[in-house]
Chain A
Amino acid sequence: MRKIWWKILCVVIIFYVIVMGFMGPVPRLAIINESIRNTYFHVALWLAMTTLLLLSMVFSIRYLMKGNIKDDDIASEVAKAAIFFGILGCLTGSVWANYTWGDPWPNDPKLNGAAVGILIYLAYLLLRSSFEDEQRRARISSVYNIFAFAVFIPIIYILPRLTDSLHPGSGGNSTFGSYDFDNNIRRVFYPAVIGYILLGLWIAELRIRIKQINRVREEALIQSGKL
């Protein structure tokens, strides 16, 4: 928990991504031009978000199997960090779409799916806030979290591929890797994904620690008879 090396790694990677993302060499493509640099931010943010949501689901399953309240803390805080990344991903995508597709919110199945995905997880937070009892809240919201992830994946990765979408990999558009993903991009893109995941974990870790400290303090208050 107190190990610091991955936080340093996270900061280094993020700085590397920012510097290389704006200054590094990128392939020249028509229409997209320099805006291809958004791959480092928008696409990487979405991948990081999906990874974090997967992690959150894994911890929810672990909670249901073992009943340790710490697992639920992790699941909820990781999900919150993922929602934060999701909103950032929407914003970066929106800025990019404004210049490339000519509309900040084109009517695209993937965009709408993303919005619905964020709604699902906001509903998860609402569900969490409507219970007083800790164990009860943990159990019921874990059930919903697993359910939500199983629906989230089709919404965002499968359904858009069945219809016409402006995004790569759907409706006959080719996927990313096939033609425009050269080694220069790869060298920044993969570190970017790892960097964002680490950053999300860091945010979540801080919030988990606050939660646990609060819990310990509450218990101390109860035991001293003040509450």
Chain B
Amino acid sequence: MNEIKTLIWKEVTLEWRQKYAISGMLLYVVSTVFVCYLSFNLRRNQLTPIVWNTLFWIILLFTAVNAIAKSFSQERHGRLLYYYNLCSPQAIIISKIIYNSLVMAVLSVLGFVFYAFVMGNPIQDNGLFSICILLASTGFASVLTLIAGIASKADNSATLMAVLSFPIILPMLLMTIRLAKNAMDGLDWSVSTDEITTLLSIDLIVITLSYLLFPYLWRS
């Protein structure tokens, strides 16, 4: 537990020292949203809630892939070896997942604020939508962290990252979009329990698998 806390703290300090990474990601979200806004600008009145919703989650998906892809590749080989000598692999993967979830939560909240600012905000049930953002950022982070670990071992890691993660993340993305649609329509929470439990169980499966499989991954 202590180990994990230290590792998360180390990630935060590192991020704070080299601010270009996190600010780069923020700028990425903002400029993508702005590109979408300008592209739809001519026909803003035709932007249906479904398009609004789908567009938002696709922007977040690309942000997540880009933000998490660097979580293993930015560290030098020697430094990785040093960590591996000091801590258990389980602590490393759990700390990375928690840290990436935090980053994703921050990025998606800020992204949502800016997106709602320029594209309008048709959401009726803000509580459910924030749960949705929270679940999605945890889910995206946990799937993508292990995939980033896999992809960083190969040479063409940028392509591999996208190819490996998109099909795997798809069920999660679809569930999230449906949950977000329920939140937009302001449906009763009991309608969405199915989606919430499915998302939670996918998260649980993925985190358990990462926990079990990562020790085999880092040895190579």
Which residues of A approach B to under 8 Å, CB–CB? 64, 113, 116-117, 119-120, 123, 126-127, 130-131, 135-136, 139-140, 142-144, 146-148, 150-151, 154-155, 158-159, 162
Q: Which residues of B contact A155 (CB under 8 A)?
A: 170-171
Compute how far the CA of A139 lies from the CA of B219 in the bound complex, rounded to whole angstroms. 9
Q: With A126-B163, A130-B156 in contact, is A150–B220 under 8 Å at CB?
A: no
B167 and A139 form a contact (CB under 8 A): no
B171 and A136 form a contact (CB under 8 A): no
Give the contacting residue for A127; candidates B146, B150, B213; CB below 8 A: B150
A147 and B168 form a contact (CB under 8 A): yes
B198 within 8 A of A: yes
Compute how far the CA of A131 lies from the CA of B220 in the bound complex, rounded to whole angstroms. 12
Which residues of B approach A to under 8 Å, CB–CB? 146, 150, 153-156, 160, 163-164, 166-168, 170-171, 174-175, 194, 198, 202, 205-206, 209, 213, 216-217, 219-220
A146 and B213 form a contact (CB under 8 A): yes
Q: With A119-B167, A130-B160 in contact, is A139–B216 under 8 Å at CB?
A: yes
A154 and B146 form a contact (CB under 8 A): no
Q: How would you classify the secondary structure of chain B's contact residues: helix, strand, loop or mixed?
A: helix
Compute how far the CA of A140 lies from the CA of B175 in the bound complex, rounded to whole angstroms. 28
Q: Which residues of B contact A159 (CB under 8 A)?
A: 171, 174-175, 198
A140 and B163 form a contact (CB under 8 A): no
A143 and B160 form a contact (CB under 8 A): no
> Shortest beta-carbon distance, B208 to chain A, in Å?
9
Q: With A123-B163, A154-B202 in contact, is A140–B156 under 8 Å at CB?
A: no
Q: Which residues of A contact B171 (CB under 8 A)?
A: 113, 116, 151, 154-155, 159
Q: Which residues of A contact B216 (CB under 8 A)?
A: 64, 139, 142-143
Nearest-CB residue, chain B, relative to A141: B150
Q: Which residues of A contact B205 (CB under 8 A)?
A: 150-151, 154
